[in-house]
Amino acid sequence: MSFVARFLLTNETPTLEKLQPFVENNIKQNHAQYVAKHKGIIIGWADICPHDHPTMAHVGILGMGIIEGYRGQSIGKRLIETTINHAWQHGLERIELEVFADNPAAIALYEQVGFQREGLKPKARKVDGVYQDIVDMGMLR
């Protein structure tokens, strides 16, 4: 299983053409959308978008990733902290995320910045006959 398939919900890395409208909309809507660059190349990203349903618009959903060669350098931590601060400043009251249970480094990072484990979804995903559990995490303002 590829890295993308192992740690992201998608099986393929999205193309720039597919990501561009999402990122542009986040910026237009003033949602938390940040990237880390090294020598002009994007090496990581983090975003928090409010939930689509009006009764849950106070809840943001965190998505993030760091390219493999740049992990373990506090880049993810700085991206998440910046993104969370943006979300709080723009009125969000709760932030949630889902992470695969077999990604202990990501879970540790999320706990380090204040997320708490809220639940476990056993066998929540199946790729090539292999199941993965998902850990639900959240934080309140």
The CA distances from residue 11 to 21, 28, 99, 114, 127, in Å, are 20, 28, 15, 29, 8
- 3-140: CATH number: 3.40.630.30
pTM of the model: 0.82
Domain boundaries along the sequence of the chain: 3-140
pLDDT band at 111 (very low <50, low <70, confident <90, very high): very high
Written as one string, the DSSP assignment of 70-84 is GTTSSHHHHHHHHHH
Give the residues across from 135 on adjacent strands: 99, 120
Residues 6+ apart with CB under 8 A from 99: 106, 107, 110, 134, 135, 137
pLDDT at 7: 47
